[in-house]
Amino acid sequence: MYMQRFESIFQCPVCTSPMKIIELKSVVCDQHHTFDIAKQGYVNFLTRPVHSEYDKALFEARKTVIDSGLYERLHSMIREIIDEEKAPKVLDTGCGEGSHLSHILRDVSGAVGVGIDIAKEGILSAAKYYDDFIWCVGDLANSPFSKESFDIILNILSPANYAEFTRLVKQDGLLIKVVPKSGYLKEIRDIFYTEAYSNEQTVERFKENFRNMETYQLSYKVPLHENLIQPLLQMTPLTWNKIDGANEVHITEITIDLEILVGRKK
Ligand SMILES: C[S@@+](CC[C@H](N)C(=O)[O-])C[C@H]1O[C@@H](n2cnc3c(N)ncnc32)[C@H](O)[C@@H]1O
Ligand SMILES: [Zn+2]
């Protein structure tokens, strides 16, 4: 089993002792805290049930949109940033249904991809579609990984935990955080009257916690096929509780407006 080759990345989320994979069935620590490997191949490391607003329909919609190639330029930009690392171990934090990680690591030779998300529905989908990755349900605030296990930490449109990023990334490793800018998905916000994204505080916090080596801006518009309108509306919290008139929504293009922050440990 793929995961077994990398069991040294795991550390018990209950007692922090090292873990082993036993009989391809469970991940067990020295103190016998045990987490089962689901038949789909992921591991649930949550020590208590967590309710997530992110459900199956949202993750399916995200998968459709990401697989459509809307974020291809983001993926190739990140691929170029991590290009210098040989056979990198990459952790995607708040990976959702795993499509970003899988697209980014396509053709990165020897890469090991690990995704963690607190929403089980996301990880379930990731494990279903993407083999040869390690998928974990878990809370970033209490993660199941040993210190300095990763060359690259990705944090794409998800909440950060800088204490954990600092613990988990190798001394010379990179943190790559993607944050929305004011124009991101603006055609949807225009319809639902939601506020523009402001990322000032997010960027501030990044710089307080990591040495900001480089910041890339990525802004473009993509023509939108009709089939993608529905999934686009479903994939984002922007429209939660507001989607009745979705059939009447006419958008012909969509704006991607992102900032990519690259940092090293202080
Ligand atoms: C807006 S979604 C982005 C998902 C994915 N990165 C993407 O761009 O498609 C934010 C994700 O962060 C996850 N998340 C929020 N808090 C988390 C935590 N404490 N630990 C792990 N994941 C978390 C959510 O479950 C959700 O999947
Ligand atoms: Zn333990």
Could you give the CA distance from residue 68 to residue 235 in angstroms, rounded to a whole number? 13
Q: Which two tokens stand for residue 68?
A: 């459509």
- Quick: pLDDT tens for 40-99: 999 999 998 898 888 999 999 999 999 999 999 999 999 999 988 889 999 999 999 999
- Quick: pLDDT tens for 128-176: 999 999 999 999 999 999 999 999 999 999 999 999 999 999 999 999 9
Show the domain range for 22.
2-265
So what's the pLDDT on residue 87?
93
So what's the pLDDT on residue 243?
60
Residue range 5-31: mean pLDDT, rounded? 96
How far away, in angstroms, is 155 Cα from ligand 1 center? 9
The DSSP-derived string for 75-101 is HHHHHHHHTTSSS-EEEEET-TTSHHH
Show the ligand 1 pocket: residues with CB < 6 angstroms: 52, 54, 62, 94-96, 100, 116-119, 122, 139-141, 156-159
Annotated binding site for S-adenosyl-L-methionine: 71, 97-98, 184
Pick the atom of ligand 1 nearest to 139's CA.
20
As for how many domains the chain has, the answer is: 1
Q: 264: pLDDT confidence band, cut at 50, 70 and 90?
A: very high
Pick the atom of ligand 1 nearest to 52's CA.
25
What does R_g of the chain's alpha carbons equal in angstroms? 18
Annotated binding site for Zn(2+): 12, 15, 29, 33
Q: How far is CA 33 from CA 12, 25, 44, 86, 185, in A?
A: 7, 13, 12, 34, 43
- Quick: pLDDT tens for 179-200: 999 999 999 888 877 777 789 9
Residue nearest to atom 4 of ligand 1 (CA): 96
Q: Which residues contact 161 (CB under 8 A, 6 or more apart)?
A: 93, 140, 141
So what's the pLDDT on residue 245?
52
Which phi and psi (to 5°) does residue 256 adopt? -105, 125
Q: Which ligand is nearest to the CA of 119?
A: 1
* Mutate which of 45, 52, 74, 117 for ligand 1 pocket (most atoms within 8 A of beta carbon): 117
Output the domain CATH number for residue 73: 3.40.50.150
Could you give the CA distance from residue 198 to residue 4 in angstroms, rounded to a whole number? 42
pLDDT for 210 beyond 90: yes
Residue nearest to atom 14 of ligand 1 (CA): 94
Average pLDDT, the chain: 93
Nearest to residue 135, comparing CAs of 39, 71, 51? 39
The more confidently predicted of residues 21 and 249 is: 21
